Amino acid sequence: MQIHKLGRNPSKFDPRNLKLADFINLSTLPAIPAAFDWGMKNGVPLVYGMDGNDQYGDCVFASACHQIGTWTGQTGTEQVATAADAEAAYTAFTGFNPSDPSTDNGADMLTVATGWRTKPIFNHTIAAFAQVDIKRPDLIAAAANLFGGVWTGWGLPTAWQGADEWTTGPSTDGQWAVGSWGGHAVHLKLVSPALLGVVTWGNVMPVTPAALATYCQEIFALISVDCWETLTGNSCPSGVDGAALQAALTQVTA
């Protein structure tokens, strides 16, 4: 039986956190496709690995590596991370030591996103990031379409252990309680009206929109230099005030 580790620590809500809604104007964006999958290139699926998340609670870094795999696969030469790549980032950001189980304590996504602007994960940094309102499916779809997917944090219910689809149950009590299994971070790369798709434990997990609304606890739009430089000449997509976003982020993290 395949072992599934978690490792996302509780969300940190700093009042200064940047909100993507403040920097994006949906009315000026090109029409968002009803369905898209950043994990497919010319009809061929990109490659995503386990990246150590069967041994350690490195899901925050494994999912970051999956996000990088999508960006590079769509804009140039696909780069597929290994367990060593994800574990090296886990060590650099948290002090994790694979020889010392007491250091395998996971990470929170906001701290990692803040550090990721200057400290590389799998040889890549990000230009900026902003939180996406989890109650806004339109904004989630727009962010995923613009930025090559979104980075999502979840409170998994115990009922999802061994599941082949993330969906809702008859209630949010007992085994269906939010976070009763633990916290997990995944790269959301597929959006459609009926079903979403996230990368976790080296596979693509189908997710219903209702499950996302119930169990997803934080979403980040990660603005990648890989995507912007290749696709848009290092400028923001139309409708996104990137200059204001980066200026505000500098104030927050100064």
Whether pLDDT at 8 is above 70: yes
Residue 95: CB atoms within 10 A of its CB come to 10
Phi, psi torsion values for 60, nearest 5 degrees: -60, -40
Per-residue pLDDT at 182:
98
What single-letter amino acid sits at 253? T
Span 92-123, pLDDT tens digits: 999 999 999 999 999 999 999 999 989 999 99
Q: What is the CATH number of domain 20-253?
A: 3.90.70.10
Q: Are 48 and 199 in contact (CB under 8 A)?
A: yes
Closest Cα partner for 70 from 54, 57, 81, 83? Answer: 81
Per-residue pLDDT at 233:
42
For the chain, the structural domain boundaries read 20-253
Per-residue pLDDT at 121:
97
Per-residue pLDDT at 127:
81
Q: Which residues contact 21 (CB under 8 A, 6 or more apart)?
A: 132, 133, 136, 139
What is the β-pairing status of strands 216-223 and 128-131? antiparallel
Whether pLDDT at 156 is above 50: yes
pTM listed for this prediction = 0.91
Closest Cα partner for 202 from 42, 56, 4, 8? Answer: 4
Whether pLDDT at 30 is above 90: no
